[in-house]
Structure 1
Amino acid sequence: MSLSELFPIDRWNFSTRSILNVLSDEDYSYLISNRSNERYQRGDVIFREGSVPSGIFLITKGRIKKYKVDQDGKEQVIYIANQGELIGYHAILSEERYSDSAAALENCTISFIPKEDFMEVLHRSPLLAQRLLKAMSHEFTVLSNSISVLAHRTAAERLAIALIVLREKFKEEGLQQEVAINISRSDLANIAGIAQENVVRILKEFKSEHILETHGRNISIKDIKLLVKRTNYK
């Protein structure tokens, strides 16, 4: 039984991985002709909220987190992006400063694509514009659901939903082996919107219920049906 039969994962997850697939070979070659590749260590900041964008970022290896920081310095992780996904394009399209920050969740390689090249290809390709519009519309649905979770769900329900989404993010494409979610308890708390001590306590509960196992930073989901049940999703 697939996860989508147990839980409406598409309402909680989005991906920009397929956006560039609509480009012709010529347009894709133009898009990446002036790109530069940068390596980031875990925790390195890629861009900061309030800074002026000069291009977009294509993740070629690793995962990044997008997050906002409140006036007390507390992070709220908004989204985890995988290899093959684009980040930073919202600010370019809106002609505004970055509305959030991005940092490496693990060691990453990221291609920087200048704003001018991105906008030129966007003007050339109506299909790319349509795909971006569709992606941003779906993102709005996902973010609306996330806000609802923070407002109305218990800490255990929030964490269960966060773990289900992360399980999808950490899957290796085409491979069926057990998924190991490699993430700090701090980042997990910032994704679920709960205190770190609550994350540790609830993970112990889930472990005692044979829902998951932990090995250092790694979290392995053993029974996805029980985890879905813990979301109390109706």
Structure 2
Amino acid sequence: MEELDFISGSKVSQSYQKGQRIFQEGSPSLGLHCVNQGKIKVTKTSGDGKEQIVRLSKGGDVMGFQSVLTETTYSTSAVALEDCVVCFIPRADFFRVWQSNVQFSTSLMQMMAKALGAAEVQMLHLAYKPVRERLAEALLLLYHTFREEDQALPFTIAISREDLASMVGTAKETATRLLSDFKEEGIIATRGSQVTILLPNGLSRIASLYD
């Protein structure tokens, strides 16, 4: 967001290692987090204590804006999927620009509306799509979120089976078994935690069976 340049003097850059928590669900919402580089998962804890990945973030994304605007504590947690750099903008500086710059506030409202719309779609799919279709959709989300526009195919990402399961809302064993099925069908390849997407169109076909 170009508007964030208005508060560049207030930004504090922080490096995080893979697996490190950037902010914690339920802790005081102190400001806005802007991803400079790296891959991050945004999670929410369900009533039974299970982690659900609700969003993925990469360089250029903003995290925590809903909590800053509407709540006093973070409604989600953010954890680095790889080493990353995140800029932090204190709440007071954020609100000063929010109130004085219409372009900034409008852009952020559009971002919030888009995030809410994506969350509604995810909840709907969790409710009626079978796990196989949801896993295909999760792999496509990783592909479209983290693949660079000029990146040559195939696309490879390191992602734990636990994280894939929490994206889909299923057990780790189920996610692992379905990944093996996709591998046998030649749609993906796996090596350790790495997943290579060989046929994005094959995943799209599976993901859209119940659309």
Q: How would you bin the TM-score normalised by the shorter chain?
A: over 0.9
| CA distance in 2: counterparts of 1:36 and 1:79, whole angstroms | 23
| CA distance in 1: counterparts of 2:143 and 2:29, whole angstroms | 31
Contact 2:22 2:80 in 1 (8 A): yes
Contact 1:38 1:110 in 2 (8 A): yes
Q: Does 1:213 align with 2:189?
A: yes
1:156 is matched with which residue: 113, 132, 136? 132
Alignment of 1:196-211 (within 5 A): 196-211=172-187
| CA distance in 2: counterparts of 1:175 and 1:221, whole angstroms | 13
What whole-Å deviation, never above 9, does each CA across 1:105-154 have from its counterpart, x for those lacking one?
A: 11111111111111111122111111111111122221111001111111
What whole-Å deviation, never above 9, does each CA across 1:37-65 have from its counterpart, x for those lacking one?
A: 21111111111111111111111111111
Q: TM-score, normalised by structure 1?
A: 0.85
Contact 2:42 2:55 in 1 (8 A): yes
| CA distance in 1: counterparts of 2:145 and 2:100, whole angstroms | 31
Letter of the 2:107 counterpart: R
Q: TM-score, normalised by structure 2?
A: 0.94
Question: Partner residue of 2:151?
Answer: 175
Q: Does 1:87 align with 2:51?
A: no
**Displacement, 1:167?**
0.5
Alignment of 1:1-234 (within 5 A): 20-21=1-2, 23=3, 28=5, 30-231=6-207, 232-234=209-211
**Bigger mean CA offset, 87-96 vs 198-207:** 87-96
Identity of aligned residues (%): 34
What whole-Å deviation, never above 9, does each CA across 1:10-40 have from its counterpart, x for those lacking one?
A: xxxxxxxxxx22x2xxx71x41202222111
Contact 2:156 2:194 in 1 (8 A): yes
| Residues paired across the two proteins, number | 210
> Stretches of 4+ moved more than 4 A in 1?
none
Contact 1:210 1:222 in 2 (8 A): yes
**Displacement, 1:192?**
0.8
Q: Aligned to 1:90, what secondary structure does the other structure show?
A: helix
**Gapped runs of 5+ residues in structure 1?**
1-19
Q: Aligned to 1:33, what secondary structure does the other structure show?
A: helix
Q: Aligned to 2:75, what secondary structure does the other structure show?
A: coil
Contact 2:39 2:59 in 1 (8 A): yes
Contact 2:129 2:210 in 1 (8 A): no
**Gapped runs of 5+ residues in structure 2?**
none
Alignment CA distance shift 1:128-1:188 (3 Å): same
Q: Aligned to 2:10, what secondary structure does the other structure show?
A: coil
| CA distance in 2: counterparts of 1:226 and 1:91, whole angstroms | 37
